[in-house]
Every structure is written in C-alpha cells, then in structure tokens.
Amino acid sequence: MRGDPKNLWPSDTQSARRIQEALAQRVSLSPLKKIPRTIAGVDACFSERTVFAVASLFTYPGLEHCEDVVAEERANFPYVPGFLSFREGPAVIKALKKLRTRPDVVLCDGQGVAHPRGLGIASHVGVILNVPTVGCAKSRLVGEFDDPGPYKGDWKPLYFRGRKVGAVLRTRDRIRPLFISPGHRIDLSSSITVVLHAVLSYRLPEPIRRADHISRMAAQKEADHEHKR
C-alpha cells in the first residue's frame, strides 16, 4: 500500500482543516470495477494517549476470517468532532499496511463523504492508501434524512447541503440503522451492497465488529497493565 506523508498528520485543527479541504478534492466516487474478493474492517480504541487500531480481513462474499493485525500509535491529536481521522488515522493506516493481503474494500467505523468538509476517516484513509473505502457509522455527523423501513435492506438517502452523501441503512430487522457513506473509489450503491453482504447476525458488518472487539481488548489490556504499575 502507498505511504502516508507525515505532513498529513498535524496536531492542530487549523492545519487539519486545510488538509481535509485539499484531500477532499482527490476523493473519487464511482462503482466498483470488479467484485471484491477480500474485505477488511478497521476500528480503533484508546488507552490513555495510545491508539490501538485493528484491521480484520475476511473473504468476500463468503466472510471467512483470514487475519487480524493490531497497530498502536501515540494519540497526537485531541478529540474534536469532525477531525476523527487525525486522531485514529495513523494507527488505522499502520494496521492496514501490516495485513499480508491487500483488501479489495475497507470498511471504516466512521464517516466517508458524509462529513462537513467531505473527508471523514473512510475518505481520508481511502485517498492516502488508494483503496476503496466505505464509512459505516453508528450515528449521524451531518445531514438530513427520513427513517427507513423496518426491515433489513431498507434505506433512505442522507442529504447534506442539497447533495446525497450517504444512506441510512437498516442492517437488521427493527434494529437501529447505520449511516453508510462512500469513502473513496466506490459509489453509494456499491457501498450499500457491500455492507449488506458483510452483515451476519449483528447490526455491524462482521469485519468491523471483530476489529472493534479486538481493539477494545487491546486497549483494556494496556489499561490494566498501567493500573498495576
């Protein structure tokens, strides 16, 4: 995978905003060119000032588990809504680079283009690594929408400033929907299809669910270790 220049990770919001605006111009949304064979989910958790990111790789559409990798980085950016990628991004990208197989699609726990400046963590990671990415968020960051129907696969468009930026997608019957937005090198229709095929028995796509569980365990282990010191 392609590298991430260090100047893409400032520690102040003013510089981060300029980077978001510049990278947003490089986002490309288009249908997938081929059916994915592999899919990865990424998520991150914190312990003190350390970020633990996990990338979990699965086959697609069979969803056979292939590999998990954990990466950690110091958190050099404060928690500021709309700037999540500057806090988690370095560790997430480090984890993806450690995978033995390059994923055809990456699902991120966060936003894609459904973002104030069009560059959520899924878009940020996608542009830097030049890989198709999808944002799968548990809550809305921007936009307006109508509630989707009650059954799995029902969805309604998410609009922001008059532009369709995502979908409010029901991934299980009568369970709270997810906010899906394309990140990079994928369109909304393909994003919805991939997410629905990546869901098993839970609300979250299985690759993200596994990455979330492992990252929480890693952060808790570190916290317990610090407590014993």
Q: Please tell me the number of Cα atoms within 13 Å of 79 on its side-chain side.
A: 6
- The answer for residues whose C-beta is within 8 angstroms of residue 74's C-beta and 6 or more apart is 49, 50, 51
Higher pLDDT, 117 or 7: 117
What is the predicted pLDDT for the residue at 182? Answer: 98
Q: Is the four-CA dihedral 192, 59, 31, 121 of positive or negative sign?
A: positive
The pLDDT of residue 226 is: 57
pLDDT at position 33, please?
87
Q: Render pLDDT for 179-204 as a digit per residue (tens, 0 to 9).
A: 999 999 999 999 999 999 999 999 99
All domains of the chain, ordered by start, with CATH?
A: 7-228 (3.30.2170.10)
Q: Which residue has the tokens 């954990």?
A: 70
Q: Provide the CA 81 distance to its chain's centre, in angstroms.
A: 15
pLDDT of 223 strictly over 80: no
pLDDT at 4 over 60: no
CA distances from 26 to 90, 101, 113, 118, 126 (A): 19, 25, 12, 10, 10
- Sheet of strand 178-184, all strands in order from the earlier edge strand to the far edge: 65-74, 50-59, 38-47, 105-108, 133-137, 178-184, 163-169, 155-160
State percent of the chain over pLDDT 90: 86
CA angle 136, 215, 141 (to 5 degrees): 30
Would you call 181 helix, strand, or coil by DSSP?
strand
The pTM assigned to this predicted structure is 0.93
